[in-house]
Amino acid sequence: MAEEQSSGKKLTIGIPRETTPNERRVALTPDGVKKYTGSGVTVLVERDAGKDAFVSDAAFELAGARVVDDAASIYKNADLVLKVQKPSKEEIDLMPEGSKLIAFLSPMFDLDLVKHLQDRKITALSMDAIPRTTRAQYMDALSSQATVAGYKAVLIAAYELPKFFPLLTTAAGNIPPAKVLVIGAGVAGLMAIGTARRLGAVVEAYDARSVVKEQIESLGGKYIEIDTGADLAGSGGYAKEATDEILRRQQEGLADRAAKSDVIITTAAVPGRPAPRLIPASTVERMPAGSVIVDLAAETGGNCELTEKGKIVHRHGVTIVGTLNLPSTLAVHSSQMYSKNLQNLLALMIDKDGQFTLDMDDDIIANTVITLGGAVVHEGTKQRLNPATTPA
Ligand code: NAD
């Protein structure tokens, strides 16, 4: 099954300004734009779309884009809209039937959005549905953005902590290094371990998949073993959801470590599921006064019971950071990386003559398309919409 752009018609790509609060990234940077304008594609960019990522309208124009003032005209005229965050319902309503959209859509969580895209017959691809395969790693925006988040989480912790990270030997006395505990050693966690080590902290890390032990050690971290009676390694490098009993054992195993930590960075996640609750309030109570938790799982409920989504709170003398969308705070590099991921994905769809083809026989495309021709085609999302059909 393949869906094609009507032959001979050159593509029009639209890059609107992001409208989600605090979103500073831009989906495509000028080097990407140049690639498409070079093959005769029209690229419409909303004025100031790159402003918060320090990309000027002039740079887009130099790359051959047409800068327009009116976001509505982009949604109405583009065959393919490229975004970082999901568009609003109003923005989707402007898009013609059959037009295409690529963004982070979190389809498993935002079923209303999926139904709206289905009703409007938009062909929507979600950057968070790209499979975790070797061939797809160049398009893996979840990984590139998690790299940014893991790095920034450590910088936030260092900023909030009323202590040094490195060991210091000074005339004013000796200072021991900060103790950092990283929970969840996937892409963000490994970046956090490396960053905390570079700042001179002593780092321990835990993950429910014991296969990451070597990776933690190669970055200079100490792997924590907790006997939970099960290894949660699932398919595609992801973890399986922990049972209540496993969670209880993890909480117990982590509590003593947490009581000795100056900083905890939590990144534990299971795709499409709420974040595992690994740090209960009783563990926070045991942490040293002035210590810091940065909870990268705040968006999906938090790994810490006391995390408040989007806020920095102080509980039992501990600063708990639930700030959302850390990649946006490094907008220059996160945009560059996202844009590169997007170009690598688009290379499967746009040929050198600027023609668009959606090859549903390609496994990356088949996994990434959420809605097509008025139908929901993404398996995980279909199951969420019709739980009765979920396989046992
Ligand atoms: P993620 O964001 O879904 O999860 C972060 C980490 O949380 C994972 O390491 C997971 O094991 C851990 N976790 C989940 N439940 C937990 C629990 N109850 N207790 C402790 N830890 C828990 O995952 P991610 O970082 O996006 O990716 C995870 C892994 O996938 C990577 O480390 C890698 O091995 C693999 N991966 C492969 C590719 C590829 O092949 N192209 C790309 C990206 C990632």
What are 246-257's pLDDT values in tens digits? 999 999 999 999
Ligand 1 centroid–CA 373 distance in Å is 33
The reply to whether 66 belongs to the active site is no
Nearest CA among 240, 203, 195, 205 for reference residue 226: 205
Confidence of residue 3 (pLDDT cuts 50, 70, 90): low
The pLDDT tens digits for 371-387 are: 999 999 999 999 999 88
Nearest residue (CA) to ligand 1, atom 23: 186
Torsion-angle region of residue 325: left (phi > 0), alpha (psi -120 to 50) or beta? Answer: left
CB atoms within 10 A of CB 124: 31
What local confidence, expressed as pLDDT, does residue 233 receive? 86
Nearest residue (CA) to ligand 1, atom 10: 239
CB atoms within 10 A of CB 212: 23
**DSSP state for residue 112 in the 8-state scheme:** H
Pull the structure tokens for residue 376: 């929901």
CA–CA gap between residue 302 and residue 287 (Å, rounded) = 18
CA–CA gap between residue 326 and residue 382 (Å, rounded) = 30
Ligand 1 centroid–CA 234 distance in Å is 9
The pLDDT tens digits for 300-340 are: 999 999 999 999 999 999 999 999 999 999 999 999 999 99
Residue 7 scores a pLDDT above 80? no
Calculate mean pLDDT across residues 81-105: 97
The reply to whether 238 belongs to the active site is yes
* Atom in ligand 1 nearest the alpha carbon of residue 233: 11
Cβ 297 vs Cβ 303: under 8 Å: yes
The reply to whether 140 belongs to the active site is yes
Candidate list 48, 209, 223, 238, residue with the active-site label:
238
pTM of the model: 0.94
Candidate list 5, 99, 118, 143, residue with the active-site label:
143
The reply to whether 36 belongs to the active site is no
Residue 81 scores a pLDDT above 60? yes
* Atom in ligand 1 nearest the alpha carbon of residue 276: 18
Cβ 93 vs Cβ 121: under 8 Å: no
What local confidence, expressed as pLDDT, does residue 4 receive? 52
Calculate mean pLDDT across residues 13-24: 97
> Is the Cβ atom of 216 under 6 angstroms away from ligand 1?
no
* Atom in ligand 1 nearest the alpha carbon of residue 136: 41
Maximum Cα–Cα distance for the chain, whole Å?
Answer: 75
For strand 292-295 and strand 263-266, is the pairing parallel, antiparallel, or unpaired? Answer: parallel
Instruction: Please name each of the domains of the chain with its CATH number.
Output: 2-129+331-389 (3.40.50.720), 147-324 (3.40.50.720)
What local confidence, expressed as pLDDT, does residue 392 receive? 42
The pLDDT tens digits for 175-226 are: 999 999 999 999 999 999 999 999 999 999 999 999 999 999 999 999 999 9
Residues in the chain, overall count: 392
Nearest residue (CA) to ligand 1, atom 32: 186
Nearest residue (CA) to ligand 1, atom 39: 132
Pull the structure tokens for residue 389: 């059909």
Nearest residue (CA) to ligand 1, atom 24: 186
Pull the structure tokens for residue 227: 């006997």
In whole numbers, what is the pLDDT of the chain averaged over residues? 95
Nearest CA among 385, 339, 354 for reference residue 103: 339
Residue 5 scores a pLDDT above 80? no
* Residue 347: HSE in the Cβ half-sphere, 13 Å Cα cutoff: 12
The reply to whether 151 belongs to the active site is no
Compute the radius of gyration of the chain from its Cα atoms: 22
Nearest-5° Cα angle at 112, 140 to 311: 65
Pull the structure tokens for residue 149: 């988040």
What local confidence, expressed as pLDDT, does residue 48 receive? 98
* Atom in ligand 1 nearest the alpha carbon of residue 271: 3
